Chain A
Amino acid sequence: MGENPTHNKKTGLPRKRFYRARAHSNPLSDSHFPIPISPAEVDYSLHYPEMVKVDGSKKIQFADVGCGFGGLLIALAPLFPDTLMVGMELRDKVTEYVKERILGLRTTNPGQYQNVSVVRTNSMKYIPNYFGKGQLKKMFFLFPDPHFKEKNHRRRVISPFLLDEYAYVLAVGGIIYTITDVEELGEWMKSCLEEHPMFEPLTTEELEADQVVKLLSTATEEGQKVARNDGQTFRAVYRRIATH
C-alpha cells in the first residue's frame, strides 16, 4: 500500500491542512451530488460494512447535521457502539476529511468506529431522502452558521418550517441537541423549538443525566475553539413529543 501524503504517517489519520475548505456553503444553490431517491435507497453496506454483516436490518438512529470535521461523531461512536450514526455535511472537502478520518480510525482500532459514517448532502433539502418517519433517536445541530442578516435567516438550519421535517424523522421521545457560541442564534434556536408544538424542553435534571449533553461543547472542534477563547455557549435541548 502506497503512503498517503495527506495523512499523518504515525496515526494514519488525514491531516486537516489538506482538506481546507471555505467556512460556508450556500444551502440554497442547486446540488449536483447524488442523493438517495428515498430512505430505502440509502446504501448501508457502503457506510457500515461490518455492522450490516451482523444485522442487515439496523437503521441509522443518530444524525449530526452539519457535522464539520466530525469531532462529535468520533466521540459518540464508542459510547453507543450498537447505534448507527451519520454525519451530514455540505462542504465536499470536509466530508472527504471525515470519511478518511473514520477509515483511519477503523484501521487503527479494529472492531471500533464501524457504526459511524458521513454523507455529503444538503440536509436542509434532503433530510426525508435519508430517514423515514420516526427513524431517528437523536439529532445534533452544533455550532451552525449564524446567518446574521435578516434576509438570510431562511438559510438557518434551525427554522420553524424545517423543524416540521426534523419532527417527522425523529421518533416520539427523540432528542434534538443544539448549541452555538452566538447569543443571537442561540436565542433564535431556542425560540423556534419553544414555539413548535411538537417539541418540549428537557428538564435541568434530565440535562444533567444525559451524558451526551457534555459532549456538545467538548467534543467538537468548534466547541474546543470556543473553550480556548473562554467564549460562552448557548444550548437548547428539546424532546420530540406526540401530537394529540
Chain B
Amino acid sequence: MEETNMDDCEQNRESEVAPALIAVHPTHQSVAVAVGSNLRVFNLQEGCSVSLVDDSGVHMHKDSIRAIRYGAEGKLFVSAGDDKLVKIWLTDSWRCISSVSSEKRVSAVAVSNDGRFVSFADKFGVIYAVEIEAFHENQSLPNKKAVPILAHYCSIITSLEFSPDGRYIISADRDFKIRVSVFPEKPSDGAHEIQSFCLGHTEFVSCAFICSKDSQQRYLLSGGGDSTVRLWDFTCGSLLDTCHIGPETGLSQSKGVDDSLLAVTDLCATRGGSLIAVAIQSLAGVVLLSCNLSARSLRFARVVPIPGETFIPTSIAAAYSSNQLWMVMGASTLCASDSAPLARVKVVDGFCDSNQDSVEHEMLVLEDKDIRGGEQLLQTLQGSSSIEKDALATAAEAVKTAMCNLLIKKQYPSENREFRKRGRNDKKVNKKK
C-alpha cells in the first residue's frame, strides 16, 4: 500500500523537472535560455551577457520557467512558468515592464505579431490575454490583470500561437486537440468564436508552429506524442499531410525502442517554411523535414546527428538572419535531487530555405569555439563552459520521464484500479453475481 503512495510522490516530483528552453531574437540580436528559474540572456551584437533589470516591483522567477518567447518584431520578450508569473521584458534594455500574475501555473505563452497582445495558458486549460498599451522607455506598465478569453476543458495547454495576421489564436493540448479561435478585438470580449479544430493526433500535441510569418499563410505544423509531425490548413482544420518520424529515425527498429517514447518535443521552420527541424525524445540530433506548401506535402529529409556527447535537444529555435538553428538540452533538476540546473547549448549552421528541391545542402554542427560569442556565450547560457557527459544523459532521462508523467494519460491495470477505489465509501460489500 505504502509502496504505491511512494510511487505517486516520486512521480509528482519527477514531473516537476522542467526542460531547458531556448529562444532567439528575430534579427539575431540576442539569445535567451531558460533553465529552472534562471533566465539567461546573451547579447550577440555586443558579445556580452545581459543583466536583467526588474522594475515591475515583483520578484524574479522563483520556480521553473515553462515558456519563453520573443515578439515578432523583437521588441518584447515574455517568460512564464511554475511560479504563476508572466514577465514582459523590453529587449533593448532588458527591463521587465510588467509582471502579470496568473492563478495557476503557466504552460505556454504567445505574443501577437503586432506586439499588442500577450497571451498565456495555464495548466488547467484556461487561456488569458493582456493588452500591451504603448509604453515609454523609462516607464513601467502597471501590473495588469489578464482576462480569460477561452478554455480547453481541464486540459494542459502545451502550445499557443497567434496567426500571422493576428486574426486567430491557436492552442494545442494534452487531449490530442488543436483549437483555432477568432481573437477578439478586446480581450474582455472573450474568444467565443471557434474557427476550427485540427484533429488527427493520436496522442498529446506537444508543439505547434505557424509555417511562415507571411500574413497570407494559413498553414500550421504540429508535433506530438504520437511521433508525427502534421501539416494543417488551420482556417478549416483540414489535415494536409502527416509525417511519421519514428520509423524514419531508425531508432525504433535498431534498439527496440517503443514508438511512444519517440515523442516530438519541439519543432521550428526556416523563414520560408520549406525546411523543418524536429526535436525528438531519445534522438541525439534533429530530424529535418522538407515542406512544400504549394504541394501541401511534408517529407522526411534526413537526420542531422550531433557527434560527440549525448545531446538530445529539449528546445530548438531558428535564427533567420544567420541561417542557424539553436538548440539547448537541459533540465531544471536532475532526478529530483537538489543538483544545480543543467543546460548545454549547440548551434547548427546552414538552416535555411533551399533554392532548389535539393535538401542535401550542408548543415554543420558548430564546434563550441566557432559559435558566435564563443566561450563567453556558453559561460552565460550554460552557466558553465564545460559540462559532464554523464550529467547530460541523466538530464535527458529526467526530462523524458517528466514529460511522460505530465502529458501521457495514466493507465492503471485493472487490479490496480480496484485498489485505487479502496477509499470509496459507496461500494457494496456483498456484491451478488
Contact = CB atoms under 8 A, between A and B. Distances in A.
Most buried by A among B153, B179, B197, B409: B153
Most buried by B among A38, A124, A164, A197: A164
Interface string B246-278: 000000000000000000000000000000000
B154 A128 contact: no
Contact of A196 (B148, B181, B192): B192
B202 A37 contact: yes
B151 interface: yes
Contacts of B181: 164
B403 to A, nearest CB: 16
A160 B189 CA distance: 12
A162 B150 CA distance: 9
A165 interface: yes
Interface residues of A, number: 28
Nearest to B154: A28
A31 B426 CA distance: 21
Contacts of A28: 154
Nearest to A154: B154
Contact of A161 (B150, B201, B202, B410): B150
Interface string B16-59: 00000000000000000000000000000000000000000000
A206 B199 CA distance: 37
A128 B153 CA distance: 12
Interface in B193-234: 193-194, 196-197, 199-202
B194 A165 contact: yes
A163 B151 CA distance: 10
B310 interface: no
Given A124-B153, A162-B153, A38 B200 contact: yes
A22 B426 CA distance: 8
Interface of A: 22, 27-28, 30-32, 37-39, 124-126, 128-129, 133, 154, 160-165, 167-168, 196-198, 243
Nearest to A28: B154
Nearest to B184: A197
B175 interface: yes
Most buried by B among A160, A161, A243: A161
B312 to A, nearest CB: 27
B155 interface: yes
B196 A133 contact: yes
A161 B197 contact: no
A37 B155 CA distance: 16
A133 B177 CA distance: 15
B194 A164 contact: yes
B430 interface: no
Contacts of B199: 37-39, 128-129
Contacts of A154: 154
